[in-house]
Chains A and B, each alone.
Chain A
Amino acid sequence: MIEVRGLTKQYGAGRLAHGSSAVRAVDDLTFDVRPGKVTGFLGPNGAGKSTTMRMVLGLDRPTAGRALVAGRPFATLDEPLRVAGALLDAQAVHPGRSGRDHLRVVARTNGIPVRRVDEVIDQVGLGPAARRRVKGYSLGMRQRLGIATALLGDPAVLLFDEPMNGLDLDGVRWVRGLVRELADEGRTVLLSSHLMSEMEQTADHLVIIGRGRLIADASIEEVLRGQGTGRKVRVRTPSVDDLAGALLRRKLRVHPTDDGDLLVEGASAETVGDIALEVGAAVHRLAEEHTSLEQVYLDLTGDSVQYKVSSTKELVRS
């Protein structure tokens, strides 16, 4: 469990005003990250995700508010790795040390037996590379080393800041599987990303921020429903009336489309297919249409995107 209460971080001195150097990177954030779920921490570039995570881990001092990890401020924990593991920046490892030596240093600080070092090396599939110097590691290997470090103390809470950045498809799948497994074991998993598409397939719950402020804190389904754009199923059948009637009797919302198909809201393809079978309607086409989460995200964060690409393709601050 992670509890964030009124967390605020201002960089630069002075009051917030035009021309002042002050930046409110995180602005009065309050949310909980609960166990047993993968919580996606979502926001455009510069929204304040990394800053929030750094404050949760006691690396940066909040301007106001506080964050608790397993009920305590992280910076007061004696054996923090047994409580929470985090991967913030996979590049932040001494290049001259081997991956295994790195893990041994970390283990020593928290009284973790060396046996566990070899376990996590196996778990993340670092294998023989663990004995080579980090200097020669690929990005993917560094991510794996960072994740191994986070897992070292077998913690109940895990924070990953954009762990899929720069990974190939295999790597992305691996991270997805891993966080799912960790959450299924009952752990608290907070996973940041600036891509909705990434979260759609990974997270159970979303905390969406923009310009340091909370925009949404809800399950993926709730986020969708809140915007009235749930999952849709498109079905083509010669018995339009029969099927539409059966669907309506199940309290599903059905819209006819211009090309004679039916669009069913809030149902899965399985449900619609089963209902069609019950009423003996032949199904010629059945497809789920759900690209809308991305759209919902864009709608939600649209006002708060700090950097927009102008027509001349240069980055401007809006």
Chain B
Amino acid sequence: MTAVAVQGPGTVPLLTRAASAEWLRLRSVRSTWWCLLAAAAAVLGIGVGTALDEADMAEASGSTASAVLAGEYGLMIGQFALLVLVLLAVTQEYASGSIGPTLQWTPRRGVLLTARVTVPVLVATVAGVLLAVAADVVAVVVEPSLTFSGGDLADSVGGIAAVLLAGGALAVGTGLLLRSTAGALAAVFLLQLVLPALLPAFGVRWMADLGELLPGSAAIWTLLGEPEMSAGQATTLLVGWSAAALAAGGWSLLRRDAG
């Protein structure tokens, strides 16, 4: 038996293969399904509940509320289950040491990086959008006084997708950089939820200003329209933080020892 020269299949099929392996990897572990279940419970439960409250309040003041509030409020909390899904897809391999084997079958690290960023982030985004729309529909069915227009829905879905894409990229990047589930979870939660909510609460000016520079503030603005900021600012924050996280995580995967 002699070593045959191996004809590479080319980068595009390679990427397709790596992505398809990531997809299989993702759906063949239970944690993925637990995260999706938690996301579904959070988005539908919290989202529909909050939308019904809003409908009552609007009715009391003689106006109407939009059903898309259901998906938006739901996603505000439910996004964390989806971010955990994305993060675990990255960090679990460092915990079990299986990043070594993974790089044995996909040793071209650029290929692995592309697949590893794309697949979990897309899965989380698609799942989040579907759950949000489902929450909107359930809210309208339960409380027909809610308004539900195509324009509102398109806006809402666009915002939700943007938040999840940016949050997912942040989670993947942080996971690749820190290589630890606990560390990366703490970092993502602080940046995305805890600090943006906490810092303004101190009533100290610079803390509030700092809070507005965090990715979570842009996510909250996109979903709920708070705190005060322009669409341009929010976009800059979402894109900037995602890009920085991906750059740092990408460097970690491409340049460092496997780990």
Task: Give A contacts to B, CB under 8 Å.
Answer: 1, 35, 54, 57-61, 70-71, 74-83, 86, 88-89, 91-98, 101, 104-106, 108-111, 149, 156-157, 185-188
Contacts and interface: CB of A to CB of B under 8 A. Distances in A.
Interface string B69-109: 00000000000000000000000110011101101111111
Given A105-B21, A108-B17, A80 B96 contact: no
A24 to B, nearest CB: 15
Interface stretch (B24-32, B141-149, B167-175): B24-32
B258 interface: yes
A94 B21 CA distance: 14
B14 interface: yes
Contacts of B1: 35, 156, 185-187
Contact of A111 (B3, B9, B101): B9
Given A61-B257, A75-B109, A78-B8, A96 B104 contact: no
B21 A58 contact: no
B161 to A, nearest CB: 28
A108 B6 contact: no
A93 B104 CA distance: 13
Contact of A108 (B9, B21, B97, B101): B21
A interface, over-half SS:
loop
B97 A81 contact: no
Contact of B21 (A82, A109, A156): A109
A27 B25 CA distance: 37
A59 B2 contact: no
B236 interface: no
Given A60-B258, A110-B17, A156-B1, A95 B108 contact: no
A188 B3 CA distance: 9
Given A94-B96, A109-B106, A83 B28 contact: no
Highest count of chain B CB atoms <10 Å: which of A78, A92, A98, A149: A78
B29 A97 contact: yes
Contacts of A92: 96-98, 100-101
- B interface bracket (residues with beta carbon within 8 Å of A): 35 or more
B20 interface: yes
Given A89-B100, A111-B13, A156-B4, 13 more contacts: A35-B1, A59-B100, A74-B107, A75-B108, A83-B3, A94-B92, A97-B28, A105-B28, A108-B21, A110-B105, A157-B3, A185-B1, A186-B1
B96 A59 contact: no
B18 interface: yes
Contacts of B105: 80-81, 106, 109-110
B26 to A, nearest CB: 10
Nearest to B257: A60
